[in-house]
Amino acid sequence: MRPSRDRGWAGVSLPVFLLALQFGLLGVYLPLYGLELGASASQVGALFTVFSLAGVLARPLVGMGADRFGRRPFILAGAAFYTLSAALFALSFNLPLLYSARIAQGVGSALFWVGIYALLADIGDGGQQGEVFGRLAGAVSAAAAIGILPAFGIVMLLGVTAGWRWSFAGFALISLVALRLFFGRIPTARLDRPTPIARPATGRTLVFLSLIALLVSASYSMIFPILLIYLQDRFNAGVFMVGVAFAPAAVVYAAAPGRFGALGDRWNRRWIIALSLVASGVVSLLFPLAPSLLVMTLVWVLEALLVSAALPAQNAVVSELIGGDVRGRAYGFYAAVAGLGAAAGPLVGGWLYDHAGRAYPFWINAAILPVAAALILWKLPEPVRSARVALGQAVATDAEPQAV
């Protein structure tokens, strides 16, 4: 199984990496660019809301289509929309154009990620989904970290407005290359997908996990649009110093998921996910309390280690809940519900920042995430691996006992 899985991942790893190069600049500078165009904190939050809403209705339909027609057409369409959105970002001279770019990106996200997650779940079928998803998370994080380096230099040289536009002109060309690579490397025929080995959970568990994802995504997205703005105000630090403080965690995000992805295939995924949520809550609590950016740097690294283990575990859980010929629609449903939370959170966070107090979104996030962790531990079942999977893991780990 391993050679087949490696070949399948190798076919999409480079274009995924190229397509994700733009994500670092988006994550850091989108709020600042919105401010440059005259947006308020609430309007910056709306930039994240329109992105999420664009994909909420599309994702279930994409999931059903990916099960019926295969993963290829949706991955290609998603990469094409990502290319279009990068071009629109480069031409976004005002807020309406910026919103248009975010809507195009939201459609591309719905098409691309449901298709690529379903494809990689097919490749990793048989108990190794965590390892495959770990490679995906590592590639995306590494691309985001690498892509922001030249873009950061351009922004420092030309300013936020011109630096943003020239950077995305380059990302549009790179995304076009990624689209061409996907066209040649995604198989045209549907893969033969055997019935998954570990799939004891029911549809009700998928609904429960999706509702938890809605809660968590709303909580995370409430603080993400205003995070950089808040840190600048909190520590009187420029963009460069905030970037330096986050750099060690960015390295962890880039390197760790590929190494930690297999942990969830061997250990209890509930605890991995729950610990990550609690750690993120502690980090959110420290935003209003940390005495310096140095303290934030250390805490960010700890959180990055736990999140790097949790993301592949979470995706693997969804993959094992419902698989085979209905895996695409399972991902579509899960992503759509999570997208509702991601659409509501930025509006709430922006309003709180503008009208209630700058620290309120962080306090609320710190309170919600431990509750979500407790619900995960209480309700989410840990899949019971078959003897064939357990034996394969024991051989791969030198017969070391596995905690399930």
Position 396 in a domain: no
Position 395 in a domain: no
CB-CB contact of 3 with 134 (8 Å): no
Owner of token pair 């459609």: 107
Give me the mean pLDDT over the 216-226 stretch: 80
Q: How far is CA 210 from CA 219, 315, 396, in A?
A: 14, 12, 32
Tokens standing for residue 192 = 């033969």
Residue 362: per-residue pLDDT: 87
For the chain, how many structural domains are there in total? 1
Residue 198: per-residue pLDDT: 38
Give me the mean pLDDT over the 142-150 stretch: 84
Give me the mean pLDDT over the 7-19 stretch: 76
Kindly report, residue by residue over 174-184, the tens digit of the pLDDT: 999 999 999 88
pTM reported for the whole predicted model: 0.68
Query: Which contacts of 384-390 are long-range, i.e. CB under 8 A and separated by 24 or more positions?
Result: 384/198, 384/200, 385/127, 385/197, 385/198, 386/127, 386/197, 386/198, 388/197, 389/126, 389/127, 389/197, 389/198
Collapse the DSSP code of 97 into the 3-class scheme (helix H, G, I; strand E, B; otherwise coil) and give the result.
helix
Residue 2: per-residue pLDDT: 44
Position 369 in a domain: yes
Residue 116: per-residue pLDDT: 85
Rounded Cα distance between 116 and 121, Å, is: 8
**Which residue range forms the structural domain that includes residue 127?**
2-386
DSSP assigned state of 186: S
Angle between helices 360-379 and 203-223 (to 10 degrees): 160
Q: How far is CA 236 from CA 78, 136, 186, 320, in A?
A: 39, 36, 48, 46
Residue 85: per-residue pLDDT: 95
Kindly report, residue by residue over 25-72, the tens digit of the pLDDT: 887 788 888 888 888 877 888 888 888 888 777 777 777 777 777 888
Rounded Cα distance between 24 and 401, Å, is: 39
Name the residue with higher pLDDT: 373 or 12. 373
* pLDDT band, residue 386 (cuts 50/70/90): very low
Residue 55: per-residue pLDDT: 77
Give me the mean pLDDT over the 90-116 stretch: 91
Task: Look up the CATH number of the domain holding residue 106.
Answer: 1.20.1250.20
